[in-house]
Amino acid sequence: MKNIKLSALQENKRTVVRVGDVKVGEGFCVIAGPCSVENERQTIETAKAVKEAGAQMLRGGAFKPRTSPYAFQGLGLQGLKILKKAKEETGLPIVTEVIDTRDVPWVTEYADVLQIGARNMQNFSLLKEVGKTQKPVLLKRGMNSTIEEWLNCAEYILDGGNYDVILCERGIRTFETYTRNTLDISAVPALRELTHLPIIVDPSHASGRVSLIPALCFAAVASGADGIMVEVHINPSEAVCDQEQALGPEQFSHMMKKIRKLHKFMVDLA
Ligand code: PEP
Ligand code: MN
C-alpha cells in the first residue's frame, strides 16, 4: 500500500492507546452514549446508565456535522461543559467530535479522545491540527473512502507527532438503502494485517437501525475488532439526533452481557 509508513504493521507490534485507565487495543473497549449532547439531564443519565452496563468511555457530540444546516447543530461549548460534568459524575473519559480547526485547542481541553467524523476524514488541515495535540484521536472512515485513503489520513496524524490513533469503521455507502450504510466488516481483519493501530466498529451509523445493532456488535467481536462505539439514549423516543439508531439503556445492557460473553469465547478460542 502506497505511502503507508508510520501506520504500517511492523514485526507484529501493535499500538495500545491509553485513555486514562482504559486501554484501546487490549481487551474489548466499549464506547457508548448519545449521538448529541442535548441537555445536562439526558447526558448525565445516559452516562450513568452506560457505565452501569459496563461501557468504558462516554461518547457525545457537542458539534454535530449535519446534512442540513437547519438541523440541530449541537450545543457547542455548553455541550462540552455538560460532558465534563458527566465525566466528573461517572469517571468515564469523553469521546467528542471536533469539526473545525479553529476549535481544536479548546475542544482538546474537554475531550479525552478527539473524534474526527466520517465527513471530515480527508479534512487535511483538521488532521494536521489534531496531529499536533497530545490527545488520542478516533478517526472515522469516510463513507466513500477506501482503506488506503483512510490509512493515509491516519498517516497525517502520525506524521504530526501524535501516535495515538484509533480507527473506526462506521459503514460505507453502497447501493443498499435498507441500511443507512453498509458495515464493511472485512475492513477489520484487513486492517489487522496492514496496520498496528487499534480498530473499532460503529454499528449505529453503519446500520441506522436499532434492530440490527446487536448482530453487528457481535460481528465486530468475532472479526477481531478492539471495540465498538455505539449510540445509546436515556429515552430513545426523545432523541433529537439519530433517533432510529438509539438503543435504550436496557437494550444496551442486555447486549453488553452477550458481548462480554462472546469476547471471552473468542479469547478462549484463540
Ligand atoms: C457521530 O459519531 O456522531 C457521527 C456523526 O458519525 P459519522 O461521522 O460516522 O457520520
Ligand atoms: Mn449519530
Q: Where is 189: in which H helix or E strand?
A: helix 187-194
Here the contacts of 27-30 (C-beta below 8 Å, separation 24 or greater) are 27/263, 28/221, 28/225, 28/226, 28/227, 28/228, 28/259, 28/260, 28/263, 29/56, 29/57, 29/200, 29/226, 29/227, 29/228, 30/54, 30/55, 30/56, 30/57, 30/227, 30/228, 30/230, 30/256, 30/259
Ligand 1 atom closest to Cα of 115? Answer: 2
**Spatial separation of the C-alpha atoms in residues 185 and 191, rounded to whole Å:** 10
Which amino acid makes up residue 70?
Answer: Y
Count of alpha carbons within 13 angstroms of residue 265, beta-carbon side: 10
Give pLDDT, residue 162. Answer: 98
CB 248 within 8 A of CB 50: no
**Spatial separation of the C-alpha atoms in residues 205 and 231, rounded to whole Å:** 9
Interacting residues of 160 by C-beta distance below 8 A, sequence separation 6+: 127, 128, 130, 131, 132
**Spatial separation of the C-alpha atoms in residues 47 and 52, rounded to whole Å:** 9
- For ligand 1, atom 4, which residue shows the shortest CA distance? 117
Which amino acid makes up residue 33?
Answer: G
First vs last C-alpha separation in the chain: 28
Q: What are phi and psi of 230, to 5 degrees?
A: -130, 140
| CB-ligand 1 contact for 170 (6 Å cutoff) | yes
Mutation to probe ligand 1, out of 57, 67, 72, 97 (largest number of atoms < 8 A from CB)? 97
Q: How many CB atoms lie within 10 A of CB 247?
A: 24
CB 14 within 8 A of CB 220: no
**Spatial separation of the C-alpha atoms in residues 10 and 97, rounded to whole Å:** 30
Q: DSSP strand E in the chain: where?
A: 17-19, 22-24, 29-33, 57-59, 94-97, 113-116, 137-140, 165-169, 199-201, 227-231
Give pLDDT, residue 137. Answer: 99
Residue closest to 115 by CA, chosen among 84, 132, 137, 87 = 137
| CB-ligand 1 contact for 194 (6 Å cutoff) | no
Give pLDDT, residue 11. Answer: 95
Count of alpha carbons within 13 angstroms of residue 57, beta-carbon side: 29
Give pLDDT, residue 16. Answer: 98
| CB-ligand 1 contact for 87 (6 Å cutoff) | no
| CB-ligand 1 contact for 180 (6 Å cutoff) | no
Mutation to probe ligand 1, out of 119, 145, 167, 229 (largest number of atoms < 8 A from CB)? 119
Using CA atoms, how far residue 137 sits from 38, 131, 141, 166, 206, in Å, is 23, 8, 13, 6, 20
- What is the chain's pLDDT, residue by residue, as a tens digit (270 residues)? 989 999 999 999 999 999 999 999 999 999 999 999 999 999 999 999 999 999 999 999 999 999 999 999 999 999 999 999 999 999 999 999 999 999 999 999 999 999 999 999 999 999 999 999 999 999 999 999 999 999 999 999 999 999 999 999 999 999 999 999 999 999 999 999 999 999 999 999 999 999 999 999 999 999 999 999 999 999 999 999 999 999 999 999 999 999 999 999 999 998
Question: 253 CA distance to ligand 1 centroid (A)?
Answer: 22
Question: 59 CA distance to ligand 2 centroid (A)?
Answer: 10
CB 199 within 8 A of CB 191: yes
